[in-house]
Structure 1
Amino acid sequence: MRVQRRLAAVLAADVAGYSHLMGRDEERTLADLKDARQVVIDPTVAAYGGRIVKTTGDGLLVEFASVVDAVRCALEVQSGMLKHNNDVPQHMRIEFRIGVHVGDIIIDDNDIFGDGVNIAARLEGVAKPGGVCISDDAQRQVRGKLEVVFDDIGEQTLKNIVEPMRAWRVRGVPDRGIAAPKDRVQTDPILTLPDKPSIAVLPFQNMSRDAEQEYFADGIVEDIITALSRFKSLFVIARNSSFTYKGKPVDIKKVGLELGVRYVLEGSVRKVGGRVRITGQLIEAATGAHLWAEKFDGALDDIFELQDQVTKKLVGAIAPKLQQAEIERSVRKPTQSLDACNYYYRGISRLQLMTPDSNAEALQHFKQAIDLDPSFAAAYGLASECYRLRHSIGWARNDAEQLALGRQFALLAVEFGQDDAVALACAAQFFGFAARDAQTADTLVDQALSVNPNLFRAWQARCWTSIYLGEHERALAEVSHTMRLNPIDPEIHQAETAMGIALLFLHRPVEALEWISKALTRRASFPSALRFATVAYSVLNRTDEAYSMVKRLQNVDPDLRISQLKSWVPFQRSEDAEMFIEGMRKAGMLE
């Protein structure tokens, strides 16, 4: 019997975090889902001529004759759910992820099968909660027919789909209906800000008449967009949208509204003799406030090398500045309106204070972020970082239960964060130090850097892992690169301490002490710096200073003993571990 096939548009939707919602309150979740179906979904599907093929506990599959109607329906469903959720607490909101594809399907009775269905279902998994993701085939057919903007998210490897597929996300979801069929008038969508820091990089102005500088300026912007796109914590506008502003006078506030972003990077390129000057400035779109500005000069001898260096410096400065701006914004935000991303940034702000209470608060914030988004890989990673610090500083050293909890968060960071460099870097730090598994750390940190070669946290994990492995010459180069990426980082004392440790293990104690002293000037109670200052003074036979440093260390970590250190040191080379233990013993550390 001949298999019945037809071309159709398929919409797949499911509820984000459904298992978590059911775990919180089964009866309410089922009632809310039923209400959302009756009030929003079923009427909207009917209005756009869709056929609900089947429903599951948390999702549904819908067939349309027109992909334009399928996408319109998806957008209006998400718009309707925004209104529907207005008075619902954030942690109990029903939020759908929606995927749309157009392709060949197989019909069996009233059910549908085939790649046309499978691709829509997989794209739904790529969509954000409250968002819509569509295939390249679908985007080609709706292009120019809808007053919405799609962001190209590149080729996606979809489970059980042989070839990677290009996909597109709708930028923002409007708070009113989208271009309904028949006699409704189309209106421009209102782009809501994404749930993470959002940035557009505008074309840099060529201040020279040299056409070669035009290509150079465009190349820098394209490289910056590509590099920033590797940060999972950022929402970055695609190149094609940014370049619509090329050669036009720009109103930053208007750009922010038109592109739906919180931050805008603009800049210029000017040729001066045989050199070129590049300026960049980061602006908060809504207020016009300048958050950061810098200029870079370089020779035109190798323009491509210069382009690469400028990109690295700009990205290395921008990403931490965006994170700091988001931390400050999240702290100002009223508690009742917090969402997963804001809990995440609040957690970072508390983690940086380095006290037992702030560590506990940070962990609670990361857990709250995970509660709202159970696939939030970076939040799992930073939760594991809380446990690593407790072990390192002495708040819960060698506590088997705490280490097991930290390991669980690190493993979840890896599970959910295969393409999240922050999550992988945090997991690497936990495995390298707390779990004393430098080989696993080495693998994870290399994976993090392959995902995002510009991430400061990943380079920080890279240099520490090299120290644990005993590869100290390599570590020196990695620490230098780390500090170049983020030279004004408030946590720079960690990199300075790493430089000192690597030098100490290379039997260069005088230089080591110079770096560690810098770190202690910035953070007088930093335990790692205090420990290795103690060892450096011992190696130099500066007994009084070594003894004084032990006293300072005991004020920070009063329960520290040689016996604990033996089971705690993460250094793989026996000579490194012996130098550390003997240096502490020589300085008078209690057994």
Structure 2
Amino acid sequence: MSRKTPEIDPKSAETVTFGGFVFLTKSRELWTAEGRAIDLRSQSAEVLSTLAARAGEIVSKDALMRAVWPDTFVTEDSLTQCIADIRRALGEDAHAIVETFPKRGYRLNADPSAAASGAAAGTERAKSRFPRAGFILAALVLVVAATGAYYGAEIWRATPVRSSDMPRIAVLPFEDFSTGADKGYLSDAVAEGIITDLARSKTYAVIARNSSFRYRDKPTDARRIGDELGVDYLLEGSQQKIGDRLKVSAQLLDAHDGSHLWANSYDREIGDLFVVQEEIIRTIAERVWHRIERPWPQSDAARVSALHYYLMGFVEIDKDFSAAGTALLRQYSLKAIEADPNSQFGYIGLAHSYRIDADYAWHEQDRDEGLKRAAEYADKAILLAPDDPESQWARARVHADAGEVEQALARFDQAIALNPSNSMILVSSTDSLVWVGRTDEAIDRIKQAMGIDPFYPDWFNWQMGWALYAKNDCGAALAWMRRMSRIPNGAYRTLAEIHACLGNEREAREALAVSLKDSPGESIHKLRKQWEKVYTAPGGLERWLKHMRIAGMPE
């Protein structure tokens, strides 16, 4: 891979030794001093090569990303995963060989006393264990790996997302020590509430829940998690429901050295959940020298039950984005309203369920009527909780699907201002941008969301695929769709249009057949009527309908 940055010119030495290992700089191979080869992914080897070229110096994250991914959009997660891969290969838990310098970069601490003769001896030992045939085979493997890396890199070309200079906090999922029927009662409500409220402060950058919750049921290694997420602070804790009481414990850790900065516990009636969250938030803010000033929320047991059902509904739609998934979302939303008709949660869920059904012609409802009902429920949620970002988000989505672009973007901006770390709101705001032809702006916003959510969910790949399809970069669009671990029913229509764009008629028809299982009455006529006031980008609607015809959509 080419080097475009003058600050990383390689040194003349062909080997670099550190901690009992030898790195061959020309072939980018890692060996033990005894001659045993150590496997490294190609990109991890590139990162190690860049560090070895400046051994003993701090290499900035930007320099590393420009060197390894010079023309490709990646987030810092790609770099942190490579650093973690190198440390695993070295069996290096102390971070002494590859050292992290927060907000600055990384340094490879090579052996200062390694004589050239010793290095050469290590190299010869390595070569003697690896006969010529092995080198030929390795060369073939490297060619294949390089070819794959090249085409993988070409799926999107852009500048890497830069991290914020503000202090960064990650809230880990709280352990649930409840037993019996109380187990899982509140799901992740405590931690999610803390994430949402902390994100309203302009003092911190808060890592999105999708990334921080990847560490569920894993030992808390503050330094490792801090490195992987690029954060300064970690909040961890536990919750336990016992009858009508809730016990919550929380502690704030310094992610650089693992030291404890603050800890406290709370024992409250279950209805005080939101007050407990606010106490934790305010204490954390004070510990890092900034106070968040807002009115304390009101709380009662009915509101907590409504939140519980609301979360359960979204778990179902996240697991299965289909007609069956929206049916379950609606059922749980109705239960939330029954539990507390004066909280916003159930109305937000109903707004989303009716809007999704209208978009995909699920459950055979009239689209205009479905969007009207969705708007009514979203308006009710806003009336009850105007400062809740998810209330504003629900209304923004309905505006967008109704073709009310300016109203949609204004609502999205309001929701984002209320919770800047909600990467899902950022990504869902891009539909309106694509529909009016502001595709590059949409792609930039998706990148921004990926930057604040290093372990972003699958549907971000779907959204990037759709935006790149609209940009007429269908090869890249297909590559992004294939990044999804599982393609949900709703995404098969997007997959069909991308295959049609690429001339893959058989694959397009197969994908559309899956999509039509939940909406058998769909047709070109219905799609045109549904989207002609929404998809106003010049030529966009006609191009899409053309590809739907190729995929087999009936007239």
TM-score interval, normalised by the smaller of the two chains? 0.3 to 0.5
Structure showing greater relative contact order (alpha-carbon pairs closer than 8 Å, 6 or more residues apart): 2
- Give the TM-score taking structure 1 as reference length: 0.44
- Give the TM-score taking structure 2 as reference length: 0.47
